[in-house]
Amino acid sequence: MKALRSIAYKGTSDYVNMGGNLIRQPLPTQELDQVDPFLLLHHYKYDVGPYSPGLSLAPHPHRGFEPVTFLFKGEQLHRDSLGNEGVLKAGDVQWMTAGSGVIHDEGPSKEFVGTMEGIQLWVNLPKKFKMTTPKYQDVKAANMPIIPVENGKGHIKLVAGELNGQKGAASTFTEINAFIANLETDDNITIPIPSNHELLVYLLEGETRINDEHTLKLGKLQMLTFQKDGEAISLEANKNSTLLILSGEPIQEKVSSWGPYVMNTQTEIMEALRDYQQGKMGHLY
């Protein structure tokens, strides 16, 4: 039996204001800057209707990392300066490599009315890939491998990485596992994690006991990170639960960031600002 990892950090998911909307931000916080290679995690949930347009972001640039959107409810329209345009449906994932620079906007599709819920994750890129050609992976829910919970009713969806001999649908520049656990009450599962990976678990819904040690609950303890002293974690659902499980090989390089740019030096940040202003990241109208 694989040794379970001990817990390193226990975090709440406090609200921040973005575009007049309150969203949860468990990463970064004053206590935790990053979980290398994961830089930022935003959890948004709001209603869209005639008098509540929801969170819609104007066109904005990115460089040097990968913004990843996991959509759990609703429909989200995406456009970028590469000419990509599409609609994410509930269960889909948009894995975008900003690389050398891209401009995009995102928000509810014009036709959608209802509840919108998703997570935006920022994944760092190593220095050698920061100026790679931008690309866009539209990962549909139907293309994600499913691992059923043994002797249970829930399942694990593989967005990226490997689990039980199966590979996730998204390709990554470094070793990354991105799993979505949909567990039903009393489901119990042990998930192997590479010993060299950093690891975090975030709860979106429900209540789940981790390693028989701490219970993740909404509005209280919603995120855990772990020591690299074991090769697995165990999950036991006290209620129907949805969790995002992220692990990755740490990049261990200096990070310099400003707004939508994540580079290695302040000079590179200034270059990104200049290139955006000069139109070198393209245009989006």
Annotated binding-site members: 60, 62, 104, 106
Report DSSP letters for 135-154, one per residue: EEEEE-GGGS-EEEPTTSS-
Contact present, 39 and 65 (Cβ < 8 Å): yes
Would you list which residues are annotated within the binding site for Fe cation? Answer: 60, 62, 104, 106
Structure tokens at 38: 């994961």
Residue 270: enclosing H or E segment and its boundaries? Answer: helix 266-277
Of 232, 231, 213, 230, which is closest to residue 221 (Cα–Cα)? 213
CA 155 to CA 127: how far, in whole Å?
36
Strand (E) or helix (H) holding 108: strand 102-108
List the structure tokens of 154: 């829930």
